[in-house]
C-alpha cells in the first residue's frame, strides 16, 4: 500500500463517510477468559460514542508505512491451503455475522496476546465503493467494491477512584473506578488495498510499539514471521556497518552514509512519489562506494545485510537513521549538531591522540556565557 491509498481508507472512518454498521468483539480478562461479547450498532447509536469507536479503529491505520505499519505477504500456497488465511477470508465474507467464525478468531487472538490485565478484541467490516480514477486524478461514475475487515486489540485501563463535583448540590462525591478503553497495541486490515483494489495476498499489520512487533500474533493470525521492529532495525544496521567495515568505519564514512540517505529522503519527499522509499542491499552498496569504502569491505557489508535482514529486504530509511538528528557521543562527551551542519565536525589524530574538531562559525556560549577566542 502507498501513503495515498492509506489516506483514502482512513477517510472511511469519519462518521459522515463510514459505512460500518456495527463493531463486534469481546472483553477478555487477565486470565485469558472471555467475560462478555460485544456487538454495538453505530448507525443508530450515540453519535459521540460512534465517533470515538471509529477513532479507535482508525488508530490501527496510524503511524508510518514501514514503521508502525508493515505489509504482510501471503504465498500462493497460504492463500489456497492455510487455515490462517482461510479464517481471515471467512471473517470478511461473512461480514462478521457468523458467531462460530468470530469465536474461532477470538480464541486464536487470546492464545497469542499477552497483556497485563484485561483487554478487548474489536472487529469492524466495511464495504467501500471505490470510484475509478483516471490518470489525471479525476473520478468517473464507475465503481469497484472493496470489502475489508479491521481488527484492533486494545488494553483496558482501570481508572482509580476519584472525587467528582456535582453542580446540583455543589458538593464533591466519590466517583467509582471504571474500565477505560486504551488505544490499540496491535491491529490489522485484511485484505490489503493495493492499486486501489482488494489484494487477498496481503494484509496491513499495525503495532503501536516500535520495539515489539508481537511475533506470536503474526505467527498465529497470519502464519508468517513478524517484521523486525524499527528500533531493532536501527541497531542491526549500525552493527552491520561497524562489524563489516571495521577499520574503514571512519567518521567521514559514517557522515557520508548519513548524508546520502538523508538526501534520498528529502528528494523522495519533494518528488511526491506515492511509492514508499526503501533502502536495499543495492542502496547500501552504492552509498558505500560513493563514500570511498574498499570493495572487499563493501562485499562484506552486503553479505552481512542479507544475513541480518534477509535477502531482498527493503528497509524504511527512518528506521535505520534519524534524518533530523546528528549526534556524536563518547563516555564523557555528547555533541549534537543540526544535520545540515554535519560538515562542521571532523576528526584529527595528533601524536597518537584522537580529536574531534568543531569548526566555529558563530558565537559560542558556555552555560549561557559568551566566550572569546585567542586571535
299-350 confidence digits (pLDDT tens):
999 999 999 998 889 999 999 998 888 888 988 888 888 888 888 888 899 9
The band of 139, judged by pLDDT with boundaries at 50, 70 and 90, is low
Those residues whose C-beta lies under 8 Å from the C-beta of residue 26, and which sit 6 or more positions away, are: 34, 35, 36, 37, 38, 106, 120, 121
So what's the pLDDT on residue 12? 94
Averaged pLDDT, 264-278: 90
Q: Which of the pair, 150 or 311, is modelled with greater confidence?
A: 150
So what's the pLDDT on residue 330? 87
The band of 202, judged by pLDDT with boundaries at 50, 70 and 90, is very high
Q: Is 279 exposed, middle or buried (0-12, 13-18, 19+ CB in 10 A)?
A: buried
Those residues whose C-beta lies under 8 Å from the C-beta of residue 217, and which sit 6 or more positions away, are: 109, 112, 113, 153, 186, 226
Q: Which three cell numbers stand for residue 136?
A: 489525471
Give CA–CA dist 285/34, Å, rounded.
52
Give CA–CA dist 5/18, Å, rounded.
16
So what's the pLDDT on residue 150? 97
Averaged pLDDT, 42-59: 90
Averaged pLDDT, 287-293: 94
Percent of the chain exceeding pLDDT 70 equals 98
So what's the pLDDT on residue 138? 64
Flag whether pLDDT at 20 surpasses 70: yes
Those residues whose C-beta lies under 8 Å from the C-beta of residue 20, and which sit 6 or more positions away, are: 12, 42, 54, 57, 124, 125, 126
Which segment, 102-106, 128-132, 137-141, 163-167, is predicted with the most confidence on average? 102-106
Task: Indicate the domain borders of the chain.
Answer: 3-227, 228-319, 325-375
So what's the pLDDT on residue 17? 86
Q: What is the mean pLDDT of the chain?
A: 91
Flag whether pLDDT at 100 surpasses 90: yes
Averaged pLDDT, 4-24: 92
Give CA–CA dist 91/86, Å, rounded.
9
Percent of the chain exceeding pLDDT 90 equals 66
So what's the pLDDT on residue 45? 75
* pTM given for the model: 0.84
Residue showing cell 534524518: 323
Flag whether pLDDT at 208 surpasses 90: yes
So what's the pLDDT on residue 175? 77
The answer to whether the CB of 28 falls within 8 A of the CB of 110 is yes
Q: Which three cell numbers stand for residue 221?
A: 493470525
Length of the chain: 375
So what's the pLDDT on residue 136? 61
Flag whether pLDDT at 110 surpasses 70: yes
Tell which phi-psi region holds residue 215, choosing left (phi > 0), alpha (psi between -120 and 50) or beta: alpha
So what's the pLDDT on residue 293? 93
The answer to whether the CB of 73 falls within 8 A of the CB of 191 is no
So what's the pLDDT on residue 338? 87
Amino acid at each position: 500500500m502507498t501513503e495515498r491509498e492509506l489516506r483514502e481508507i482512513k477517510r472511511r472512518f469519519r462518521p459522515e463517510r463510514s459505512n460500518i454498521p456495527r463493531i463486534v468483539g469481546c472483553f477478555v480478562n487477565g486470565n485469558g477468559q472471555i467475560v462478555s461479547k460485544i456487538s454495538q450498532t453505530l448507525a443508530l447509536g450515540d453519535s459521540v460514542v460512534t465517533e470515538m469507536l471509529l477513532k479507535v479503529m482508525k488508530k490501527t491505520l496510524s503511524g508510518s508505512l514501514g514503521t508502525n505499519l508493515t505489509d504482510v505477504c501471503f504465498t500462493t500456497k497460504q492463500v489456497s491451503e492455510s487455515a490462517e488465511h482461510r479464517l481471515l477470508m471467512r471473517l470478511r465474507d461473512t461480514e462478521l455475522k457468523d458467531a462460530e467464525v468470530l469465536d474461532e478468531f477470538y480464541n486464536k487472538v487470546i492464545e497469542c496476546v499477552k497483556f497485563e490485565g484485561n483487554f478487548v478484541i474489536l472487529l469492524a467490516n466495511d464495504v467501500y465503493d471505490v470510484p475509478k480514477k483516471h490518470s489525471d486524478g479525476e473520478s468517473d461514475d464507475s465503481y469497484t467494491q472493496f470489502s475489508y475487515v479491521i481488527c484492533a486489540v486494545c488494553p483496558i485501563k482501570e481508572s482509580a477512584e476519584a472525587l467528582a463535583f456535582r453542580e446540583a448540590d455543589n458538593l464533591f462525591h466519590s466517583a467509582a473506578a471504571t474500565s477505560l478503553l486504551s488505544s490499540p497495541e496491535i491491529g490489522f486490515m485484511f485484505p490489503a488495498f493495493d492499486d486501489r483494489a482488494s489484494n487477498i495476498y496481503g494484509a496491513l499489520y499495525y503495532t503501536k510499539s516500535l520495539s515489539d512487533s508481537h511475533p506470536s500474533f503474526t505467527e498465529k493470525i497470519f502464519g508468517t514471521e513478524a517484521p523486525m521492529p524499527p528500533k531493532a532495525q536501527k541497531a542491526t544496521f549500525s552493527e552491520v556497518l561497524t562489524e563489516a567495515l571495521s577499520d574503514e568505519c571512519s567518521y567521514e564514512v559514517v557522515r557520508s552514509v548519513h548524508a546520502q540517505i538523508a538526501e534520498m529522503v528529502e528528494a523522495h519527499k519533494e518528488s511526491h512519489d506515492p511509492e514508499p522509499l526503501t533502502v536495499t542491499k543495492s542502496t547500501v552498496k552504492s552509498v558505500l562506494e560513493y563514500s570511498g569504502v574498499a570493495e572487499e569491505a563493501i562485499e562484506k557489508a552486503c553479505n552481512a545485510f542479507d544475513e541480518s535482514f534477509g535477502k531482498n529486504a527493503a528497509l524504511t530509511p527512518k528506521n535505520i537513521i534519524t534524518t533530523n538528528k546528528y549526534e556524536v557521543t563518547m563516555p564523557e562527551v555528547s555533541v549534537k549538531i543540526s544535520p545540515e551542519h554535519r560538515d562542521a565536525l571532523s576528526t584529527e589524530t595528533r601524536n597518537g591522540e584522537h580529536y574531534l574538531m568543531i569548526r566555529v562559525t558563530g558565537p559560542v556560549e558556555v552555560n549561557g556565557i559568551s566566550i572569546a577566542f585567542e586571535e
